[in-house]
Amino acid sequence: MMTDSTPTHKNQISAIDLFETPLSWQEISSRFPADHVEVEIGSGKGLFLTSSALETPSVHFVGIELAAKFANRAAQRIAKAGANNATMLRGDAKQFLEKTVPSSIANRVHVYFPDPWWRNKHKKRRVLNDQTLQDIQRVLVDGGEFHFWTDVLDYYEHICGQVMDETALLGPRYVPEPTATHSMDYTTHFERRARLNSQPVYRAVFQKLTS
């Protein structure tokens, strides 16, 4: 796993902070094979990155999280698990997609349980806006997939409509709820909390057309 060369505390792993050290995609990807790359926007505490990296060692996962506290916790979780095929970044995901990630590089882009930011004055904080959705389409390889999960039905319907209006991605494709086999067998901590409280989770997959 690629991490910051300067730990936050002695013997403590931290995420690569793109605010402190802006890096190009070439610099970020220079330490891992780029044959199959998946990107997660808003990685939180890193449950998805860690479990997915361990389950699919042939894929390299790149996660980005705005909150330094969560980004560093995710980096520590990944390191503790020995998931060498995951890279954790701290930064602005919208800027990262628009300015750093090249076109046709990601086999999948994952966005799980983003904050809806319903108030008009807060909508500019949404990670999924028209530009970001267009960038997701751009960075996907032909046949690549955009995975979107939320526990807010109104927001699910809003984003699905926005994807259909702003991109040429095919979908949404329904995703059945997987059976959890142990207490942490969930995509993210948000999914775990929702399902343990018997709350519905809304899932969709969109796919980029093959040229």
End-to-end CA distance of the chain: 33
- Residue 4 bears catalytic tag: no
Residue 122 burial (CB count, 10 A)? 11
- Angstrom CA distances, 137 to 6, 8, 108, 109, 112, stand at 34, 35, 10, 9, 17
* Residue of 4, 17, 92, 115 marked active site: 115
Contact yes or no for 85/36 (Cβ under 8 A): no
**Residue 194 CB partners (closer than 8 Å, separation 6+):** 151, 200, 201
Residue with tokens 């093959």: 210
**Largest separation between any pair of C-alpha atoms in the chain:** 50
Positions annotated as catalytic residues are: 115
